[in-house]
Amino acid sequence: MPRAPEARKKMYVLDTNVLIHDPNALLNFEEHDVIIPMTVLEELDSLKSGKQAVAADCRQAIRNIDKLLGDATPKEIEKGVPIVRGKKAEPLGKLLILMSTQHVNSHSLPEHLNDNKIINTLAALQNEHRARDIILVSKDINMRLKARGFGVEAQDYHNDQLLDDIDLLPKGYREFPNSFWDTIEKVETIQREGITEHILRREGELARLNINEFVIDQQGFVGKVSDLSESQIVIRDLHQHDLMNEEVWGLVPRDIYQALALNLLLDPDVHLVNLTGSAGSGKTILALAACIEMTVASKLYKRIIATRSTQGLDEDIGFLPGTEAEKMEPWLGAIVDNLEALHEDDENMTASVDYILSKVPLHFKSMNYIRGRSFQHSLIIIDESQNLTPHQIKTIITRAGNGSKVICLGNLAQIDTPYLSALSSGLTYMTERFKSFRHGAHIHLQGVPRSVLAEFAEANL
């Protein structure tokens, strides 16, 4: 890709939330200049202390800025320090620290807010460099609106956004009307060790399939992509009756989508499973049932680690009496609720749940204390993972040690974290990034109403 001439190079001014969202954002603007206002450095400094996830990201961002600036003098920093991305790589773009300036004219925003200070500084910079494109990059939509209203160009940070439309996110299966085989001209079928596989040419709709995705049709055929190349695709023939009657810790799937999810959850060769879907689609109860089955019955794994992403978990879990598990229990009530649902037909449900909690190696962990750890032969359930940034979810997934499996659960329609959207969510990022990973898979579950009331509310509210 040819580099832009000096006059056409853009100047990107980063807001604090961009560096918190992605501490490596400085390196993602190619040959263009990156500017950090002094106000942003002050905000990073005020947020860097503590054990919160935000504090850790602030510290990482500060370290990255320090590494890029190196031993540069104040005059060199004012002119811009070349951004070096590797020892042998040629520098691309410059990093500048922008001092806040005094605004004596009336055309400025009141400076009692840091956002206003940044916008005023950008407006002054724009007057100074009229030949350059100066763009504010912020995850805060209101900050972007204020900047545009003040005459400063602003945009969202899109570097870790792999999709332009959430509808393009893979569902994990492709549905064919009528019969799937009506669309196939040539097939080679191989049977071995009780497994039937179909070798097809990878063309048309089949060219869009990824490894571990499913093919289903209205005639009851279910197939799973077990291998593929540029020209061929191998689909393993699965029996819908067997899938629908698979019982896991007393749980039987209620529709074909839950059956596909269980197939992936129980597959020892799939190390990362992402389950998305609306409330009531069965994400948590399927994951929990499969995890108990694989730890208690088949003993494929030694323990279950359950954690959940919420804004509250970014705060310290507190100094009041109680273990980490006891403090985490209110946040992970969904896990206990689903344990009760799995044993609601028992003679004494409470006793059954207490027995399971005492016998099953189920650990409730705060996300603050997952950093730096390595979990061996563990099943790691991350609930509400749509509220994680790509950087945060990568940090957690890399904690999976030898023989471990990660299960990410989330509803992309219910994002509660500021500055995150469905497109920039870590769950979306990992689903799209891992779609070609041989040991990863994703299923979007359809809504299965929990009650007549829930069904009516879903349709009418």
Considering only CA atoms, which of 302, 266, 273, 250 is closest in space to residue 397?
273
* Residue 266 domain-assigned (yes or no): yes
Q: What is the pLDDT of residue 268?
A: 93
The total number of structural domains that make up the chain: 2
* Residue 215 domain-assigned (yes or no): no
The two structure tokens encoding residue 14: 């980063």
* Residue 377 domain-assigned (yes or no): yes
- What CATH code is carried by the domain that includes residue 112? 3.40.50.1010
- Which of 94, 127, 156 terminates a domain? The answer is 156
* Residue 454 domain-assigned (yes or no): yes
Q: With H, G, I as helix, E, B as strand and everything else as coil, classify residue 97.
A: strand
- What CATH code is carried by the domain that includes residue 270? 3.40.50.300
Q: What is the pLDDT of residue 313?
A: 39
Say if residue 141 is in the same domain as residue 261. no
* Residue 112 domain-assigned (yes or no): yes
Say if residue 143 is in the same domain as residue 256. no
Q: What is the DSSP string of 386-433?
A: GGS-HHHHHHHHTTB-TT-EEEEEE-TT---STT--TTT-HHHHHHHH
> Tens digit of pLDDT for each residue in 9-41?
899 999 999 999 899 999 999 889 999 999 999
> Tens digit of pLDDT for each residue in 404-459?
999 999 999 888 887 788 888 999 999 999 999 999 999 999 876 666 776 777 67
Chain position carrying tokens 């070798």 = 199
Distance, in Å, from the CA atom of 280 to the CA atom of 48, rounded to the nearest integer, reads: 38
Q: Which domain holds residue 66?
A: 11-156
* Residue 45 domain-assigned (yes or no): yes
Q: Which pTM value belongs to this model?
A: 0.79
Considering only CA atoms, which of 280, 254, 256, 270 is closest in space to residue 175?
256
Say if residue 316 is in the same domain as residue 453. yes
Across 2-16, 112-126, 270-284, 308-322, least confident range = 308-322
Q: What is the pLDDT of residue 314?
A: 44
Higher pLDDT, 351 or 332: 351
The whole-chain average pLDDT of the chain stands at 85
Distance, in Å, from the CA atom of 437 to the CA atom of 230, rounded to the nearest integer, reads: 15
Q: Within 13 Å, how many C-alpha atoms sit on residue 130's CB side?
A: 1
Cα 192 to Cα 24, 198, 211, 233, 236: the distances in Å are: 49, 12, 20, 17, 11
Q: What is the pLDDT of residue 449?
A: 60
